Structure 1
Amino acid sequence: MPSTKSTVDNMDALCAVKTLLRKRLGQCWVPEKFIGFEKEEKEIYDLLKRTVSFGESNSVVVIGARGIGKSMLLKSILNNICEDKKIAQNLLQVHLNGLLQTDDKIALKEIACQLQLENTFGNKVMGSFAENLQFLLEALKSGDDSSKPILFVLEEFDLFAQHHNQTLLYNLFDVAQSAQTPICVLGLTCRMDIMELLEKRVKSRFSHRQIHLFNQLTFRQYTEIFQQYLHLPEKFINPKFALKWNSGIEKISHDSTVEDLLKRQFSINKDIRKLKSFLMHPVCRLSENHPTLLVSDFIDSFKLITTDSKSSLLQGLSILEICLIIAMKHLTEIYDGEPFNFEIVYSEYLRFARNRSSMQIFNKSVVLKAFEHLQALELVKPLDGTSTRTQKEYRPVILLVHPIQLKEVLQKYPSCPTEIKHWAISSFA
């Protein structure tokens, strides 16, 4: 009985692990310790703390490439600030997104909704956006004429710059500058030229404070993030299982094969989203029959996410089209990269086919059709464009397939005749 109970507990724990890790990898999860951007994190933290503690109004734009971790950084900072219960109760937050709040009217309704002022706002009709916004902020003031600090987070900040007259931005920056109500306006954007998008009147009220995020992770930090996503928390439902699991993650992260895969992934792209994609496949493979993460899972995952699109195209070609690619590879070597035409390729193909009794020799019209299909797939590129008067058989072309790509495809190509492989090998040699 005890062993059966233990097995059931382990299965429940494994189910919980799978759910937890999927949520981490599929959503904007914020780890307890945020790695990277320590300097920027402190700068934003101090800015928000001054607004909360001293009622100082501020405005700032955080600029960084898409997926670099702007939203995660902000959530980490807010979590740290709101650890103080007094601050958590006092700070009001409004989160807007340029993809959702597509005009100022929608944005104003969302502000009223998040500040829980829909009833106060009601159907009250006022003249301008500024009056409506001012009314909402006045409604937040307490009896002693003071008001709670408000943080406005504008994600996809550049899209708000496309609103009519940039009214929302103008009024938020105006309130921040006038210090009537303690507010901090924080924009998140991937546009490096964001200041060029703002109107003069908006710029005049903006603090011009910009914080740029650049991915400067070291490989050691990258490995730490890898471990963070897979480690289980101390408060996991089954502490004994968590201890064993974390020990396994520590061991696998120092495995030479996994380290090599991480180094290759790191050299290709340091984007954390790519790392999450790399981890998703092994996590999804967890099951009753596959209760732990294995090195082979990470190898398979790396192969999946680094699949070359051109190699995938090559694997879908017919034997005739593969033969034409090999013939063109021969010609590229013979002519030292100089262009060639269909007639030359067809002659090279015939030379090979006639020397192999088992090879089927196709009609010239069929071979030309296959050649045109390779052009349509952009594996072969005409040098004189499509508006030329030259006959298509004599139009100069070049091959856009690398020898390594062709070699890898031939190794995996199903039922590829041995003689074709030998022909290709002679080309590589």
Structure 2
Amino acid sequence: MHDVVEKEPEREQEKEAEDEVEAKVIEEPEEGLVVVPPSVPEHLREAFWAQKRAVLQALQDPPDVEGVDVGGRGKALAQLSELLAGSAVRDEGNSCLILGPKGSGKTRVIEEALRELKPRPIIVRLSGHAQINDRLAMKEIARQVSSQLGTSWGQDEDEEMINVETNDFAALPPPAHLPALISSLPSLPRPTIIVMDAFDLFTGHARQALLYCLLDTVQSIRVGEGHKGLAVIGVTSRLDTLTLLEKRVKSRFSHRTIRVGTPATLEGFTGLAKACLTVSPPATSKEWNKIWLASVQRFFESKNVVDWFAETFSIVRSVPLLRNALMSKVVMLKPEAPWLSDDLPRPESHFAQLRNLSYPTAVLLIAAAHRLTSGQAIFTFAALESDFKEYVRIVQSAPVQLAGGSVGMAFENLVEAQIFESTTAASSNFDKRYNKYRCAIEREEIRLAIDRTGQTNLKKWFSRSL
């Protein structure tokens, strides 16, 4: 009994010794192990703000991932560079379509390819969102060419010159000048590259005259005849863009399509995020670099972050969603709380906008799906209303109002939610019923929304569009 009592103090002393050893391990990390402090030390505050600015800039323009061809951007760059060299160096006529989802790096590929061109060609940038008709496109082409040549171009002598400084739209060139304006591009002193963003919107212009003149001029260029090269580069995220071209326009297009996609693997998806977060700002200290890299490594080792990347990649594989999620965390960083938290927002699809559909809204979505199946990706309210009435005639029990405005309200709600997107500019002289729209969501998402309604008639009618 006496021996047991004597051993208890010894055990207590051993336990205290073990606690002291553990405390030393925490307070004195092994050599090479970086300790991430709870806040930024005063002498590293400037480096913290520089790191934050560098990461935000990298998230807006993601850098290349070493050893990984993210979304095939390297292959796309090589293909586009070769095509542009044909026009800028060998004076060829070329056309192609850059196709890829939003945020996949289409614009970046184009800008990198343009920077490689020597000598510098004339570069004209158009946008289907800004140049909503051919007259505005003609004016913009003339303005940009005149600015780069340093002299007026594209105007008749008795016409008022375009005011480049004020961007005056008072004197727009008449549409009849379009063929003459475009056909004179090869006679310029330098090759011309025309980049058309939102290329699908240009297909909605009257008779597709601008596209026809551009592609016809490209096709007519012959090497060795004294003309300069011309290249037309269309940029779009719509897979069905080529089907929107008229037959005469399609026959003059080269049908060369360069695809830029999202990362094909989870490793590439995660690697893109790491490349953005580990970018090094200029003139920063080695001490800060070690601390920041250790905090980023801890962030990616978190189970919540690992699960978030796997879930996001499997559901949407969206680079914009990835950038926005990380950006929302980076902008909140401050010296008192300088490290990334692992509570990233959960990924959602467009389906979140389609919950609790009204009956008229569901029918309009099904009508749009039917139009898409029949090759009519572009539709008007009048066309969908006609389909709606036909459906109500067949299904006598449909709980809708044809004269009470419910159809129009449902259509306006879909436009407001950007589920139906306008492909033409609104005009006060044009009946709104005939404005052109397209459906921005996929057929599968419409099917899921219809299934949630529980309406057998709707499900049967939708099945006809498959």
TM-score, length basis structure 1: 0.60
Structure 1: how far apart are the matches of 2:231 and 2:112?
17
Matched, 1:225 2:272: yes
Offset at residue 272 of structure 1 (A): 0.4
Counterpart pick for 1:103 among 120, 130, 133: 133
The aligned counterpart of 2:71 is 36
Structure 2: how far apart are the matches of 1:173 and 1:307?
37
Deviations 1:314-340 (A, max 9, x none): 9xxxxxxxxxxxxxxxxxxxxxxxxxx
Counterpart pick for 1:205 among 252, 266, 269: 252
Q: How does 1:257-276 map to 2 (within 5 A)?
A: 257-276=304-323
Structure 1: how far apart are the matches of 2:232 and 2:349?
42
Verify the 8 A CA contact 2:101 2:237 in the aligned structure 1.
yes
Offset at residue 156 of structure 1 (A): 0.7
Change (3 A) 1:151 1:400: closer
Change (3 A) 1:8 1:197: same
Change (3 A) 1:18 1:230: same
The aligned counterpart of 1:121 is 153
Counterpart pick for 1:14 among 48, 66, 69: 48
Structure 1: how far apart are the matches of 2:125 and 2:350?
39
Structure 1: how far apart are the matches of 2:205 and 2:400?
43
Q: How does 1:119-268 map to 2 (within 5 A)?
A: 119-121=151-153, 123-124=155-156, 125=159, 128-135=177-184, 137-138=186-187, 140-141=188-189, 148-179=190-221, 180-215=227-262, 217-233=264-280, 236-240=282-286, 241-268=288-315
Structure 2 SS opposite 1:12: helix
Structure 1: how far apart are the matches of 2:350 and 2:130?
35
Structure 2: how far apart are the matches of 1:212 and 1:173?
20
Structure 1 SS opposite 2:80: helix
* AA at the equivalent of 1:200: K
Deviations 1:353-387 (A, max 9, x none): xxxxxxxxxxxxxxxxxxxxxxxxxxxxxxx8646
* AA at the equivalent of 1:23: Q
Change (3 A) 1:128 1:309: closer
Q: How many residues align?
A: 295
The aligned counterpart of 1:49 is 85
Offset at residue 214 of structure 1 (A): 4.6
Structure 2: how far apart are the matches of 1:109 and 1:245?
50
Structure 1: how far apart are the matches of 2:78 and 2:238?
23
Please say which of residues 161-170 and 112-121 is displaced more in the overlay: 112-121
Structure 1: how far apart are the matches of 2:289 and 2:282?
7
Structure 2: how far apart are the matches of 1:104 and 1:67?
27
Change (3 A) 1:204 1:261: closer
Structure 2: how far apart are the matches of 1:59 and 1:7?
55
Gaps in structure 2 of 5+ consecutive residues: 1-39, 160-172, 222-226, 357-396, 402-450, 454-466
Offset at residue 221 of structure 1 (A): 0.5
The aligned counterpart of 2:99 is 63
Q: Greater relative contact order: 1 or 2 (C-alpha under 8 angstroms, separation 6 or more)?
A: 2
* AA at the equivalent of 1:280: M
Structure 2: how far apart are the matches of 1:173 and 1:20?
41
The aligned counterpart of 2:345 is 302
Structure 2 SS opposite 1:205: coil
Structure 2: how far apart are the matches of 1:135 and 1:35?
39
Q: How does 1:282-361 map to 2 (within 5 A)?
A: 282-293=329-340, 297-299=341-343, 301-303=344-346
* AA at the equivalent of 1:133: I
Structure 2 SS opposite 1:42: helix
Offset at residue 198 of structure 1 (A): 1.5
Gaps in structure 1 of 5+ consecutive residues: 1-5, 142-147, 315-383, 389-398, 402-429
Change (3 A) 1:46 1:247: farther
Offset at residue 61 of structure 1 (A): 1.1
Verify the 8 A CA contact 2:122 2:192 in the aligned structure 1.
yes
The aligned counterpart of 2:13 is none
Please say which of residues 114-123 and 40-49 is displaced more in the overlay: 114-123
* AA at the equivalent of 1:263: A
Structure 1: how far apart are the matches of 2:279 and 2:82?
31
Identity of aligned residues (%): 29
RMSD of aligned alpha carbons: 3.4
Deviations 1:43-87 (A, max 9, x none): 2232223333322221011223334432233334445x25xxxx1
* AA at the equivalent of 2:342: F
* AA at the equivalent of 1:70: K
Verify the 8 A CA contact 2:47 2:285 in the aligned structure 1.
no
Offset at residue 97 of structure 1 (A): 0.8
Structure 2: how far apart are the matches of 1:52 and 1:246?
43
Verify the 8 A CA contact 1:232 1:242 in the aligned structure 2.
no
Structure 1: how far apart are the matches of 2:302 and 2:80?
37
Structure 2: how far apart are the matches of 1:121 and 1:50?
25
